[in-house]
Amino acid sequence: MKIERSKELFAKARKCIPGGVNSPVRACKSVGCDPLFVARANGARIYDVDGNEFIDFVCSWGPMILGHNHPAVVAAITETLADGTSFGAPTPKEIELAELVIAALPSVEKVRFVSSGTEATMSAIRLARGYTGRTKVVKFDGCYHGHADSFLVKAGSGVITLGIPGSPGVPEDIVKNTLSIPYNDVATLEKTLRDESLDIACVIVEPVAGNMGVVAPHPEFLRAMRAITTERGILLIFDEVITGFRLALGGAQQYYDIRPDLTCLGKIIGGGLPVGAYGGKKEIMDHISPVGPVYQAGTLSGNPLAMAAGVATLQELARPGFYAALERKAAGFAAGLQAIAERYLPGQTTLNRVGSMMTTFFTPGPVTDFATAMGADTGRYGAHFRNMLAQGVWLAPSQFEAAFISAAQSEADLAAALDKTEWSFKKLV
């Protein structure tokens, strides 16, 4: 595999961009190699600047559920582009996308668009504090809710990939208002939420953890969370930046039949363009300015190109049978991965899957929380990543991220990826 052009670009990038990348995990440090620079993508494939071709299981970290360069999304962006790129004023597409989101998500009655998932989660906790008049936020170890100061406490994603214990630059006065407790631990959840002295405004959770690798919730975990927050007048926030429109048209809240008070969205609802959103009950959302006193604003919020791409994407996802077909693909692929792991590394890997997102952990398992995820052999994952890259398969450059199945991946693509996985596992023995 030729990588000369990528090497040249990475050397050039390091001179003008910190670490040569604009998001830390992309540097590929944890998997023992330098990043490849991408030139283009189409369908289930991504192509680097040296002309190498890869079957893509990163899907731009989740958004490309339809695959890259989907004709309906491209047509929507192209049509909108002819009229301009940004106006700083309301547009009809904002209403259209808002109506689609509200129709799909059981708990959302009003929605506010922003420009990223971080902005959505940051705004949602500010709203929760403003609505309840309380200060504390409860999150869960290994869950990642963006890089706002309040969330960089035992966070997932690049924070654990790079081994960073939180982050310098986050004042203690802010962090002291964030309580991080173990994921899937009902006893600790109940003890924390029932402590009246803590002044808890909200609980924010990835209903399916996707940033310490994929970790499914125990059924009683989410049910207990909903019951106690309701009892205590604490707002429950689902961070569905990854799971929203990924597990079902109605997200994880439809998948598990649990309605949060607020929902944070991103990734898929922009069709691959930068976007975020938060929404929920009318009585809560109407506390946001200009209706209410909680201030939040954004110059590029509701960007017309992102709104158009989001509308086109959600319309495609609403087609009958879409999620059933995606589930069949994902289940078949996961079964193939499991068979390979049992053949070559018996008792040494754990495959976690929920819908079309999955992670192979190089640890005996089970992996049910942050502590057990951290037991994974990152060195072995790095070797597997490099093996697969050399064979033309694009995986996330971190043990603690998800692999995604897209509608664009054919059965032949998945079969080819399994063949290459078997080759890699033979080398790992």
Residues identified as active-site: 144, 239, 267
Task: Count how many domains the chain has.
Answer: 2
Evaluate whether residue 427 is within a structural domain.
no
Residues 58 and 76 in one domain: no
Evaluate whether residue 344 is within a structural domain.
no
| 119-130 tens-digit pLDDT | 999 999 999 999
For all residues of the chain together, what is the average pLDDT? 94
Evaluate whether residue 309 is within a structural domain.
yes
Residues 231 and 313 in one domain: yes
Evaluate whether residue 333 is within a structural domain.
no
Evaluate whether residue 418 is within a structural domain.
no
Residues 50 and 163 in one domain: no
Q: Which of 266, 297, 317 is the last residue of a domain?
A: 317
Evaluate whether residue 327 is within a structural domain.
no
Q: Is the peptide bond before 171 cis (omega within 30 degrees of 0)?
A: no
Residues 124 and 273 in one domain: yes
383: containing domain: 1-69+377-406
Distance between CA 52 and CA 47 in Å, rounded? 6
Residues 204 and 273 in one domain: yes
pTM above 0.85, yes or no: yes
**Contact criterion met (CB below 8 Å) for 355 and 387:** no
| Confidence band of 168 (pLDDT split at 50, 70, 90) | low
3-state secondary structure of 207: coil
The CATH number that applies at residue 169 is 3.40.640.10
Evaluate whether residue 9 is within a structural domain.
yes
Residues 290 and 154 in one domain: yes
Q: Which of 286, 317, 348 is the last residue of a domain?
A: 317
| 227-286 tens-digit pLDDT | 999 999 999 999 999 999 999 999 999 999 999 999 999 999 999 999 999 999 999 999
Residues 223 and 206 in one domain: yes
Class of residue 384 by CB neighbours under 10 A (exposed 0-12, middle 13-18, buried 19+): buried
pLDDT at 136: 94
Residues 288 and 201 in one domain: yes
Residues 42 and 120 in one domain: no
Residues 76 and 179 in one domain: yes
Residues 65 and 159 in one domain: no
Helix axes 186-193, 219-232, angle to 10 degrees: 10
From the centroid of its chain, how far is CA 73?
Answer: 20
Residues 272 and 253 in one domain: yes
The CATH number that applies at residue 7 is 3.90.1150.10
| 171-225 tens-digit pLDDT | 677 778 899 999 999 999 999 999 999 999 999 999 999 999 999 999 899 999 9
Strands, DSSP E only, in 59-194? 110-114, 136-140, 178-181
Evaluate whether residue 176 is within a structural domain.
yes
Q: Which two tokens stand for residue 68?
A: 């890259």
